[in-house]
Amino acid sequence: MGDDIAVSLDLSNYELRWPTSLFVSEGERILRSTSSWQDRAKWLMTEALAGTTAVADFEDLPNHTEPTADCWATTTGWGTKRAVMDQHDWFTELINRAPELRHAAAPRPYWPQRRGNGLAHDGSTARDTRRDFARLIGEFADRGYLVEVFGEECVDDYSELPDASEVIDRRLGIPDLWPLAPETWDEDTFYGLIEVFHDLVSRPRMRRYHSYSGCGWHHSEFHNGPARVLHRWKVNQLLREAGIEYELAAEGEDLGHLVAVTDDARSQLVHRILNDSPPDTTAGVRHAIALFRARDTSAESKRSAIFNLARILEERRALIKEHLGKDEGALFEIANRFDLRHRRADQRGEYDEAFLDWIFWWYLATVELTNRLIASRNLA
């Protein structure tokens, strides 16, 4: 009796609906803020965690910016003194331990899905995916992610709101797309909307409730960075589950555009190239990658991508020769003898497009190798 019991946060009742890194970065930003941080924290948890349990647990705690003597409660009957967290300590631990949170899983399939009757009326999964995307955008709209571009109604504000269809039309060149009607979309419209909304969403970091005449929530302090991360994460999940072999690019010249999915090793290679290339080659590398992995890429685009990489390697030919010796010439022989760069009559041009894929990844890996050679030489 009389012993202190250390109170630790129980994470077992919380499930994360966001990427862990995004939840941590937004939470750390809240912890650095000085005004209305509790409201910001509750809004973040409402968005990022499944259900209302976390917000309810947070609201049950004492509200102290710093721990005080009031943070100690003594139980009766057993005479045991128990430490009680305040809201700031609780939220700090939640953010620090976010990597331990499990992600919310999709519900188990119910009878129609298990029996194969959960498809669209035309028997395809394509329209189901489009409806899922429309629901996703509806959730973004409900949480204020489109307020910055579409505006927000208020009983005290009589100004005219922007026409949402016109906002989309100016970007996509297709009229009358709002409200969303996924049953009317063809493939190009669907994929176009995925990219357009990536650029339109913006996360409100604050909201306030306007009770007059039941007006509702109003959103403010918008930032498109977190919203685009979340949009990419959710859309890429949706496409992956539907077996669609495209994803929204997370970096590069084609950021936010649909690109062909590659395996993890090649994805990591692209990431390293985009982030570690010297400034004088960054633009060329970014352009080559964007040309090669675009959803509408062609054999001609892939040749152009390879040409960009070959030009970088040509500029580094002395470095390559220094490390590879006489074998350096083999690297350029393919680009010179085949119909890739110079397009001469004596070059070979009849080969499968898979050859272009192979030579692109080979050249890209060689650019990364020379990046590392340059970096190590600069450190010497």
Average pLDDT of adjacent 10-residue blocks, the chain of 380 residues: 56 97 98 93 98 96 62 42 77 97 86 63 66 98 98 94 98 98 96 98 97 96 98 97 96 97 95 95 96 92 91 92 74 69 53 86 95 86
Within this chain, do residues 49 and 19 fall inside the same structural domain, yes or no? Answer: yes
Q: Is 289 a member of any domain?
A: yes
Helix then strand then coil, in percent of the chain rounded to 5, is 55, 10, 35
Please count the structural domains in the chain: 3
Within this chain, do residues 268 and 237 fall inside the same structural domain, yes or no? Answer: no
Global pTM value: 0.86
Can you give the pLDDT at residue 70?
46
Can you give the pLDDT at residue 371?
95
- Which residues, other chains included, contact 280 with Cβ-Cβ below 8 Å and sequence gap of 6+? none
**C-alpha to C-alpha distance for 315 and 307, rounded to whole angstroms:** 12
Can you give the pLDDT at residue 331?
75
Q: Is 111 a member of any domain?
A: no
Within this chain, do residues 238 and 270 fall inside the same structural domain, yes or no? Answer: no
Within this chain, do residues 152 and 186 fall inside the same structural domain, yes or no? Answer: yes
Within this chain, do residues 132 and 243 fall inside the same structural domain, yes or no? Answer: yes
Can you give the pLDDT at residue 185?
97
Can you give the pLDDT at residue 109?
77
Secondary structure (3-state) at 20: helix
Domain span at 351? 262-379
Q: Is 345 a member of any domain?
A: yes
Report residue 182 as tokens: 């996924």
Taking the alpha carbons of 217, 221, 226, 227 in that order, is the dihedral positive or negative? positive
Can you give the pLDDT at residue 221?
97
Dihedrals phi, psi of 353, to nearest 5 degrees: -65, -20
Q: Which of 172, 147, 173 is nearest to 161 (CA)?
A: 147
Within this chain, do residues 135 and 243 fall inside the same structural domain, yes or no? Answer: yes
Can you give the pLDDT at residue 29?
97
